[in-house]
Structure 1
Amino acid sequence: MFTGIFLRFFILETFIMGAYSFYCFYENIQKQYCLNNFVLRANIHKRVRKAYYIEIHKIYKGNIKKLNKLADDLVILDADNAHLNNTQEYVIFGDSKNGTLYTESCNGILPYSVVNDVQRTSLSEYYERGCHCLDQIGQYSHELFCKWRYAHMHMLSGKCTWLGPIPYIKCQGEWDLQNRLVQNMTT
């Protein structure tokens, strides 16, 4: 349905001011999903000046009719550090304002190749269910690696909890084993 739709896409760098201009904070992919108005998977078709024309392959979140309507008029400012190429597929997170879609190069664009199978499934099926649990996702730490990589936050029986398939359970088990080994070595 979306193949063949080409969009003019500029990238807005929101970390232009202050100390953030040279450093990007890594955000959880579920948090990015929840905080943005649209999430889509696309290829870069071509770049003309500061515009990217993209071909949408899948819309995970957003008003499909609105995105189709804006297909010829998506204007977002380009950031110098956005190195997008036409041989790679991307997951793009963004917001719309006054009929224009915006994103940032820091956390708004991920190469699809770094999104694992669990995250790909969660984009389609699970992330939206945990958007009311954003305050419990937290900032990245080594302890949260398995959760961020292989699980999603979900509301169960009125409580926010991390859920994940076998790769999450395996990762968490390996993490727990490493922690026990380190504790045994230091005592």
Structure 2
Amino acid sequence: EAQPEWGPVAVSVVPGISAMHAAAARIGAPLGHDFCAISLSDLLTPTSVIKQRLHAAAQGDFVIALYNPVSRKRVALLVTARDILRHHRPPETPVVLARNLGRPDETLRVISLEELRPELIDMLTVVLIGSSQTRHLPSPDGAGWVYTPRGYARKSASGSGGDSSLTAAPKALPAHNATRRKHTARSVP
């Protein structure tokens, strides 16, 4: 609905990237296959709907980006999310904690699903929880790389085509990526 008092307000739409894509770009390729984003904020979405979405994403084996994972008053939904995912993922499933992305105090940390707990996270953190196929690989800077294969190996094995070589882990990372990450990847204290 048009608001006359808004007439003199200049609006400019500038494309950007989401926090989940920024986190993925910093840590490797965790969003390499199917993924979804779920907000754990229950201010506008009922808790029952959030839980339903978590169950569906877990059953679908999606990589899941959790936005608004905790607040000072709300930590229970992160614990619920972790518990739901434990029924569908191995305990060593990689979880990326990306905080303050794009800012000088940006931090990235890779933990396991088993280690995921509210005190490691705040509202400035986006949490990427891997699928059953997501892998954590070592990197020269020690932070590691996280990637999710596209699933071609399963497709090829079933006889429906695809190139299984596309899912192989990289033997070495390009030097320019290792150098860039050396300056951006730091652990959450």
Q: TM-score range by the shorter chain?
A: under 0.3
TM-score, structure 2 normalization: 0.26
Higher strand share: 1
**Greater helix fraction, Structure 1 or Structure 2:** 1
User: TM-score, with normalisation over the residues of structure 1?
Assistant: 0.27
